[in-house]
Structure 1
């Protein structure tokens, strides 16, 4: 199965950021490197399995660096790469837009949740 070429930059960005967790992981790592358990504590609602999957995808795309320290017990830390930091910077205006309109978005969501299916 071959993938179609991207038709625009937004298409490429959304492809790499697909899902609800990746932006939150990148945002959290922008504040400094974290171990897996620390990262999981800071991202409420994510399962261990999902966090592992998302971190692997982010690492495969070159957005996150995984450092394994050969200690007993082993220690693994995650941090942003320069590429990941650049994506995070691009996401900042979107986060600001969401913050500005958070109440409106929440009201629409609540209204939709109350509507009969």
Structure 2
């Protein structure tokens, strides 16, 4: 068992899902695998995600130490970027495996229509 902030996790899998679980966290993280991105760049590649959801998930990923938010003030206009931390980069093999399994599932389940795969890493 694992305990974090008064919450008990029965196994390491449930602890891992605390960090990357949910609808959007792993999607955001996989897009940051190739390097930093601006907020609007993330909005464009994850166009079905609301701005509010993106902002909340970015904040949570930052609070969890998986991404870092950088504010660039060296020249106007202000630029904010997000990138994986060293801790976040440890997820890259897992994220790529999840994406590969998703492609496998899409190719092997008749009810899944492949429209477009924006996870181009």
Q: Is the structural similarity TM-score above 0.5?
A: yes
Does residue 51 of structure 1 match 2:54? yes
In our comparison, the structure showing a higher alpha carbon Rg is 1
CA offsets, 1:26-63, max 9 Å, x none? Answer: 00011211111111111120111111000000000000
Identify the match of residue 88 of structure 1 among 80, 87, 92: 92
| Counterpart for residue 39 of structure 1 | 42
What is the aligned-residue RMSD (CA, Å)?
2.0
| Counterpart for residue 106 of structure 2 | 102
Where in structure 2 are there 5+ consecutive unaligned residues? 114-121
Where in structure 1 are there 5+ consecutive unaligned residues? 110-117
Quick one: structure 1 residues 5 and 40, their matched pair in 2 at CA, closer, same or farther if it must change by over 3 Å?
A: same
Which has a greater percent of helix? Answer: 1
Taking structure 2 as the reference length, the TM-score comes to: 0.79
* Corresponding residue pairs, total: 108
Q: Secondary structure at the match of 2:90?
A: helix
Taking structure 1 as the reference length, the TM-score comes to: 0.81
